[in-house]
Amino acid sequence: MYVVVNGGGKVASYLARTLLERGHAVALIEKREDVVRKLSSELPGGPLIIQGDGCDAAYQEDAGVSRADVFVAATGDDDDNLVSCQLAKVAFGVPRTVSRVNNPKNERIFNALGIEAISSTSIISRMIEEEATIGDIRTLTSLRRGNMAIVEIELPTDRCVVCGKKVAELKLPVDCILVALIRRDEVITVHGDTELDAGDVVIAFTKTEHEAKLKRALTGV
């Protein structure tokens, strides 16, 4: 997977290092010359580092944003993060844009524009990694102690192994609780007699170590 990160501060450098250590290709765009030198000497694997403004199409082009799987804006300026993500989406057609949001009041604006707004570096890296490896399961948030998560799993529309079954009949992993279903435009609170339907989006509370098992229990894969 190829990820372009706009920014070179602590958040961006930590994220880049994490992704590089997990075997992903990473490029960074950073304005400050001294920070570029520091990143070049500290990051493993010699990633591509572009000195320039990530809000400028020319520098995004130099970083290969057109072939990126994910564009991450991780600067300390929400305005820059918003502009760079929009540029990546509109001008280069990047399928996923993820942004650090420094002011929580701005999160709604980012989400309304189709940008995944995140306020924690660890959650950004985890979302990218897990969607690339687990597939239909998406981590919505990791709880503060780090071993529990709220996840979203979409049930298949064909060959659904749990459709028509009541929640109480399901064989779920230990410490996995189904919280709600999103069915078309309706949110349904889950009870033991709630029946699952094809295409339902299941919101669940689980131990992080059991996320893959939960996906298999609900989707069969």
CATH assignment of 134-219, among 3.40.640.10, 3.30.70.1450, 3.40.50.300, 3.30.70.330: 3.30.70.1450
Q: With a cut of 70, list the residues of the chain below it in pLDDT.
A: 119-147, 185
Distance CA 122, CA 128 (A): 10
Amino acid at 102: N
Q: 2-132 and 134-219: same fold?
A: no
Give the tens place of pLDDT for each residue, 207-217.
878 888 898 89
Claim: this prediction has a pTM higher than 0.75: no
First to last CA, the chain: 22
Take residue 171 and report the two structure tokens written for it: 């064989």
Give the tens place of pLDDT for each residue, 139-172.
555 554 456 777 888 888 888 999 999 998 998 8
Torsion sign, CA atoms 79, 89, 128, 5? negative
Domain 2-132: give its CATH code.
Answer: 3.40.50.720
